[in-house]
Structure 1
Amino acid sequence: MMPEGVFRVMLRMDIKPGMENEFERVWREIGDSVTSHPANLGQWLARGDEAGVYYIVSDWVDEPRFREFETSDRHLNHRKKLHPYRSGGSMTTMRVVTYLPGDANGKSHQEWEAAR
């Protein structure tokens, strides 16, 4: 269950044409530099409908702990490894107000498929 008040960061990353597969591979390889931070609740990588557009959603226990991470050497090294793939992007921050779990929440992929 998602606790209320979670600090959420959403990044839009515009990836250089032809570099999408390599970007995805590197993002997976270095993701633990974010998710292993004690204040990180998890992150997701999603491909947008526009060519080369990706969204990264990252949840944190609170804003001060995220800001601490954002200025850390750990984060700067992470950004350096992804920078060669980027042609642009933006960041939006927000606080989770309410979480309503869906019916499929907590089901395995097989259970979800069987229910379809």
Structure 2
Amino acid sequence: MTFRVTLRMELKPGAEHAFVEEWHRGTDAVTGHPANLGQWLCKDAGADDVYWIISDWLDEPRFRAFENSPAHLEHRARLHPYRSGGSFHTMEVTAHIPGQAAGADA
């Protein structure tokens, strides 16, 4: 099954716009990796200075190889100046049941 990574980013005050721009500039470092299934940037609905980065991977070993790659280390270093705190979580997706809207045109 899919290996999912979530990163909760607590941003420094006033850094939101620059952080989002830098995240967009560096997306190919993640989505360009052959084991990456996609990634999302989500703004927390309850906190203006909190963002979530979510990425899906074919499996944990290939994610761990990416995690130590020069492309990832550079991307992470570019996002670090905007961060004041956060947390990192990994999980295996054990089931996925598409909802009614999954097949609908967006």
Deviation at 1:108, TM superposition (A): 2.0
Alignment match, 1:112: none
Percent of pairs with identical residues: 56
Normalised to the residue count of structure 2, the TM-score between the two structures is 0.95
Alignment match, 1:75: 72
Deviation at 1:74, TM superposition (A): 0.8
- Are residue 104 (structure 1) and residue 101 (structure 2) matched? yes
Alignment match, 2:51: 54
The DSSP-based 3-state class of the residue aligned with 2:22 is helix
Partners of 2:56 and 2:12 lie apart in 1 by 26
- Are residue 36 (structure 1) and residue 32 (structure 2) matched? yes
The DSSP-based 3-state class of the residue aligned with 1:11 is strand
Partners of 2:66 and 2:11 lie apart in 1 by 24
Consecutive unaligned residues of structure 2, counting only runs of 5 or more, are none
Partners of 1:24 and 1:41 lie apart in 2 by 21
Alignment match, 2:18: 22
Alignment match, 2:87: 90
Deviation at 1:51, TM superposition (A): 2.4
Cα RMSD (Å) of the superposition?
0.8
Between the two proteins, the alignment pairs up a number of residues equal to 105
Consecutive unaligned residues of structure 1, counting only runs of 5 or more, are 110-116
Alignment match, 1:7: 3
Greater Rg over alpha carbons, structure: 1
Write out per-residue CA displacement over residues 2-56 of structure 1, whole angstroms, 9 at most, x where no aligned residue.
xxx1100000000111110111111111111100000000000100121200111
Partners of 1:21 and 1:106 lie apart in 2 by 33
Normalised to the residue count of structure 1, the TM-score between the two structures is 0.87
